[in-house]
Chain A
Amino acid sequence: MNRSAPRSIDQYLRQLREELSGADSALIQDALYDAEEYLRAEVAAHPDKSESDVLELIASTYGAPDEVASAYRDTEVKVKAAMATPRKEPHTAAGRFFGVFLDPRAYTSLFFMFLALATGIIYFVLAVTGLSLSVGLSVLIIGVPFFLMFMAVCRVVSLAEGRLIEAMTGARMPRRPVYQGAARGFWARTGEMLKDRRTWTTIAYFLSMLPIGIIYFVLAVAGLSISLTLIALPITVVLSQAGWFGITATEIFSTAQPEWIFNTGFAIPILGLAGLLLLTSLMHLARGIGRLHAMYAKSMLVARAASDPAETEESAAALAAH
């Protein structure tokens, strides 16, 4: 707490990041973005003063890093409490098991599993094309601007993927992109991006989304078609006995294999029940996959605290000085 007051924008942002340590990584990214917008605007508004003179007054206007950090934590808690719809948790085991049908997250997660194949293909193509062209063009002068453009597209797509995941699974993801600092030379920025761990985890995430998307899609399609077919069996029998199809159930299933299932009277209701259980399990699986995937995406797409190598070195040096 009793640290020296920050004298530069970078110091301020670092202290704010430390104050927010332990908070959601997406919240940290947003808070740093807001602070940077304000601080840079404040410095730009006082061209006669140096950066450290402006920063000296910042604690009384914008607020010291610890004050700002607590404002973000408090507001986040309040918003979460206000936005969350109160849901009664069923107490019986059966209630909890079938309660998944009332959870909108289960449906959206299932939808995400379908969507993952399409987005996975797009991400994979983007990453492979961008990477191979960057490497291929690196011998030419347009290689560097191409790489920077590729990275910019990656950041936008990664933000969009985050918004999609938040909409589908409810996990908090960044609402602001990472700000890369004021425009510098091509070479400086290229070097920075090559050193940034997040650049590589983002590309790895894009590549991994193709196999992951295929698995999600297959699970969703196979799970839905098997369980819905099983559920349809007893319904078909009942409807055909009511004369809906103009033929009897025996005739419908006369060619169905294996024969013994359709000859015994009790097998069909049991299969229908199994379909219902399978469908419920699929919904649980979808919800679980949604949560796990959100954690995976967060670890790959969102910068960890002090992920910037230059910053880690500086804070290590600062620690050593103490």
Chain B
Amino acid sequence: MDDSNERKFQKELNGGLVGLVLLAVLAESTEDLYGYEIAKRLASANDGTSIFKEGTIYPVLRALSAGNLLTSRIVPSYSGPPRRYYRITEQGRSVLAEWKQIWAGTRDFVDRFTETEQSDIGHSS
């Protein structure tokens, strides 16, 4: 029960964050990346387990691509269907800069409450 509540909260948090993280990953990468590679980069950044289910990044990649924040090209692959490689566009970079600011503001705002609570507990004990 607790576990499913946690998962639900995590899922709600992830809603807008997946797009931000994907843009950031592609903005930092010097080469074009395909879905599986991006998923593995996310996972390796967090000890092998991504906080996103990797299946959820594909529809978001497609949505970002439809919004002209990413461009893509198709390359044949030996292991499966042809892979779609993504690259961030100039528009994507400017959107990423805006989103980063919003995220920083949100994080600071949330921290202000959640961290006060912790330091209060620290004082009382």
Contact = CB atoms under 8 A, between A and B. Distances in A.
A311 B18 CA distance: 34
Contacts of B53: 61-63, 67-68, 71
B49 A60 contact: yes
A175 B56 CA distance: 17
B12 to A, nearest CB: 11
B66 A75 contact: no
Contact of B80 (A41, A63, A67): A41
Nearest to A39: B80
A63 B56 contact: yes
Contacts, number: 85
Contact of B54 (A63, A74, A76, A83): A63
Given A41-B80, A61-B43, 7 more contacts: A34-B59, A38-B35, A43-B79, A44-B79, A62-B53, A62-B55, A63-B56
A179 interface: yes
A40 B54 contact: no
Most buried by A among B50, B55, B77, B83: B55
Contacts of B49: 60-61
B80 A44 contact: yes
B124 to A, nearest CB: 38
A71 B54 contact: no
Contacts of B36: 37-38, 41-42
A54 to B, nearest CB: 12
Interface of A: 30-31, 33-44, 60-63, 67-68, 71-72, 74-76, 78-79, 82-83, 175-176, 179, 182
A63 B62 CA distance: 18
Given A38-B36, A38-B39, A179-B81, A75 B59 contact: yes
A157 B87 CA distance: 26
Contacts of A30: 62
Contacts of B81: 33, 36-37, 40, 176, 179
Interface string B15-53: 000000000000000000011100100010000011001
10 A-B pairs with the lowest CB-CB distances in the bound complex, closest first: A40-B80, A63-B53, A68-B55, A44-B79, A75-B59, A63-B55, A179-B81, A34-B58, A71-B56, A41-B36
Contact of B66 (A38, A79, A182): A79
B102 interface: no
Interface in B48-92: 49-50, 53-56, 58-60, 62-63, 66-67, 77-81, 83-84
B67 A82 contact: yes
Contacts of A68: 53, 55-56
A82 B66 CA distance: 11
B107 to A, nearest CB: 22
Contacts of B62: 30, 75, 175
